[in-house]
Amino acid sequence: MGERIDINRIARDMFILHKGEPYRVVDYEHVKPGKGQAFVRVKAKNMKTGNVVEITYKSSDTIELADFEQRFAEYSYNDGDFYYFLDKNTYELIAVPADAVKDKAGFLKEGIDAVVYFYQGQPIGIDLPKTVELKVVETEPARDTAGGGTKPAKLETGLVIQVPMFIKEGDIVKVNTITGQYVERVNK
């Protein structure tokens, strides 16, 4: 069993256990209704599935902290089954199962910084910087750029995103790793 704390000590990015599953607190709100008991509404992300849920606790409840560890690492390569990250402190290679990387795989290129999350000693997920810079390897030539609009572009990682018409092959673009959207062209 992990350490238990009073629900009123909850904080963003805290790791908690809910129904035996590890969650990361995304947001929370203390609610004091005119009648009835005060409660805390917690929005939390399941660290195994990635699903975000809303959990309501009474203000008298305690919550269990999850046995979590975060390690700063640099992405190295993948072999299909695992994504390998180099721990920045120990220089040990960390093998993260492909299903724990999921939708973040399209942002991974060699050398990119990441945080690897461990639960009970096992790597179960990663976090990336808010934006990454990736090279456009395939896109249609620019058409009418005056009218705005977007077109698909394939990035060096294989990810396909929508970019403005003026983007061409060879351009480096900044991409939001949360939304998967184009942010800006990076002139390098």
> Is residue 184 pLDDT above 80, yes or no?
yes
Same domain for 84 and 39: no
Q: In whole angstroms, what separates CA 17 from the centre of its chain?
A: 19
CA distances from 26 to 7, 72, 125 (A): 15, 20, 15
Q: Give the CATH number of the domain where residue 182 resides.
A: 2.40.50.140
pLDDT digits (tens, 9 = 90+) for 58-108: 989 999 998 888 999 999 999 989 999 999 999 999 999 998 888 899 999
CATH number at residue 23: 2.30.30.30
> Which residue, among 56, 54, 67, 78, has the nearest Cα to 1 in the 3D structure?
67
What is the amino acid identity at position 89?
N
Range of the domain at 18: 4-65
pLDDT in tens, 97-154: 998 888 899 999 999 999 999 988 899 889 999 999 999 999 998 766 566 789 999 9
135 lies in the same domain as 83: no
Question: Both 102 and 114 in a single domain?
Answer: yes
Residues 53 and 82 in one domain: no
Last residue of a domain, one of 17, 35, 65: 65
Whether the Cβ atoms of residue 95 and residue 75 lie closer than 8 Å to each other:
no
Half-sphere exposure of 63 (CA within 13 A, CB side): 27
Query: What is the structure's pLDDT at 103?
Result: 82
| Number of domains the chain is built from | 3
| Judgement on whether residues 61 and 14 belong to the same structural domain of the protein | yes
More confident residue, 48 or 145: 48
In the structure, what pLDDT confidence band is assigned to residue 49 with cuts at 50, 70 and 90? confident
**pTM of the full structure:** 0.79
